[in-house]
Amino acid sequence: MPAVRTLSDRELTVSYFGRQLLHRAERPTAAAAVARLTALQAQYSPSPHLALWARLPGFGHRELEAALLDGTVVKSTLMRGTLHLVAGADYGHLAAAWRRRWLTELRGRHRDADLDEAALEASLRAFAAVPRSADELRGHTAEASGGRVRTADLLHYPRALLPLVHVAPSGHWRAHGKPRLVLWDGELPPEPAATARLVRRYLAGYGPASRADVAHFTGLRLAQVDPALAALGEPVRYLAEDGRELLDLPGAPPPSDPGGELPVRFLPKWDAALLSHADRTRMLPAAIHRQVYRAVNGTLLASYLVDGLVAGVWEHGRAGGAAVLTLTPLLPHGGRAELEREGERLLAFLEPDADRRTVVFAS
């Protein structure tokens, strides 16, 4: 048996930068890019738009909105109980994989409730055939269950029992307010094929990765992840510098460090590139992890990359016709001229009608 290759941290960072489409060497459609990235976290409506802006040359928010309207991209509560945008072609698999975990937890909390789950699902299926608000779904769940579902789970249960997707304008650029949800028009695929599709998508966009990384991203237990990994066939195996085993798809190109510096990039709040591993150091240095990711409320700040690694955070504001992008370095770095140019491009995307746009570095 050949020796397992050890990957340097630099090789992982450079390879990951490419898999995340951050080179901007390709121009897939918005829907194809979402599929390549598996899922974009969408609890903050501008974030998926900014994530695609960072990766796709010439991206405009109307491209993603059109994909949401025609169903090639779908917004729903999925992995880890978090709102995501996913490719419409993948939605059924991702929903089925997460449903298994979610229902297991809900059934555990209601084991003594004498709940007729089949009757509740049938009632909710008919009710959600037309768009409903979250409050309407809670009220119907309470009534249809005869008060047997806990108050805290009145929305969780319909989301777990049924594939419910958001209705536009939810997911559109800077769209806020209470969304409406509707029953997805499709059949959920069976397990374990659903989880196998999710794991394959994850490794394609985020590999090589450890079993713990896969479980972290999917929110699934290893008992569900391991059969999906086995279904891939014989994965490519590597070792990280710290000795962790990393897995990749069969036939995936080996990571390498071609030399040279990676271009600067701006990432939005909750960008999946930084959240999708149990060990996040391939892009987020451990020394500043707590300054970028606030574990208390699960907030990941908007950040910028220098040579493939987070070097600082950013925020923007507007007063009248003046828009300002403020960059706060967290580590010493160069590339300030390139950051200013890319920052001006970001401000043009964020505030296209501003009279003045300025990029400043916080002291």
Residue-wise pLDDT for 273-304, tens only, equals 999 999 999 999 999 999 999 877 778 999 99
Asked whether residue 252 is assigned to any structural domain, the reply reads yes
**206 and 326 together in one domain:** no
- Which one-letter DSSP state was computed for residue 350? H
The pLDDT assigned to 328 comes to 98
**328 and 238 together in one domain:** no
**Range(s) of the domain holding residue 235:** 1-259
Cis peptide before 57 (omega within 30 of 0): no
Asked whether residue 264 is assigned to any structural domain, the reply reads no
The pLDDT assigned to 2 comes to 65
Asked whether residue 279 is assigned to any structural domain, the reply reads no
pLDDT at 123 > cutoff 90: yes
The pLDDT assigned to 175 comes to 86
Asked whether residue 23 is assigned to any structural domain, the reply reads yes
Task: Say how many C-beta atoms besides its own lie within 10 A of residue 279's C-beta.
Answer: 17
**239 and 326 together in one domain:** no
Angle between helical axes of 88-109 and 222-230 (0-180°, round to 10): 150
- Tell me which of 226, 259, 292 is where a domain ends: 259
Cα dihedral 141, 145, 148, 151 in deg (nearest 10): 10
Confidence grade of residue 258 (pLDDT, cut at 50, 70, 90): confident
- Which one-letter DSSP state was computed for residue 209? B
**103 and 146 together in one domain:** yes
Would you state the structure tokens that stand for residue 171, as one six-digit string? 């997911």
Confidence grade of residue 363 (pLDDT, cut at 50, 70, 90): confident
pLDDT at 141 > cutoff 70: yes
The pLDDT assigned to 342 comes to 98
Asked whether residue 239 is assigned to any structural domain, the reply reads yes
The pLDDT assigned to 86 comes to 98
| 3-state SS, residue 284 | coil
If one counts the domains in the chain, the total is: 2
Task: Say how many C-beta atoms besides its own lie within 10 A of residue 41's C-beta.
Answer: 23
Selection from 43, 75, 94 nearest residue 218 by Cα: 94
Confidence grade of residue 253 (pLDDT, cut at 50, 70, 90): confident
| 363 or 103, which is more confident | 103
Burial of 245 (0-12, 13-18, 19+ CB in 10 A): middle
Selection from 9, 6, 5 nearest residue 280 by Cα: 9
Q: pLDDT digit string (tens) for 83-101? A: 999 999 999 999 999 998 8
Task: Say how many C-beta atoms besides its own lie within 10 A of residue 114's C-beta.
Answer: 8
**252 and 340 together in one domain:** no
Confidence grade of residue 128 (pLDDT, cut at 50, 70, 90): very high
The sign of the CA dihedral 130, 133, 138, 140 is: negative
Confidence grade of residue 306 (pLDDT, cut at 50, 70, 90): very high
Helices (H), 45-116: 46-55, 61-70, 88-109
The model's pTM is 0.94
Q: pLDDT digit string (tens) for 24-75? A: 999 999 999 999 999 999 999 999 999 999 999 999 999 999 999 999 999 9
Interval 1-13 mean pLDDT: 88
**144 and 26 together in one domain:** yes
The pLDDT assigned to 291 comes to 95
**27 and 169 together in one domain:** yes
pLDDT at 1 > cutoff 80: no
**67 and 155 together in one domain:** yes
Interval 184-192 mean pLDDT: 92
**What is the overall mean pLDDT for the chain?**
94
Longest Cα separation, the chain: 66
Strands across the sheet containing 132-133: 132-133, 180-183, 164-166
**159 and 38 together in one domain:** yes
Residue type, 126: A
Asked whether residue 272 is assigned to any structural domain, the reply reads no
DSSP β-bridge partners for residue 83: 77
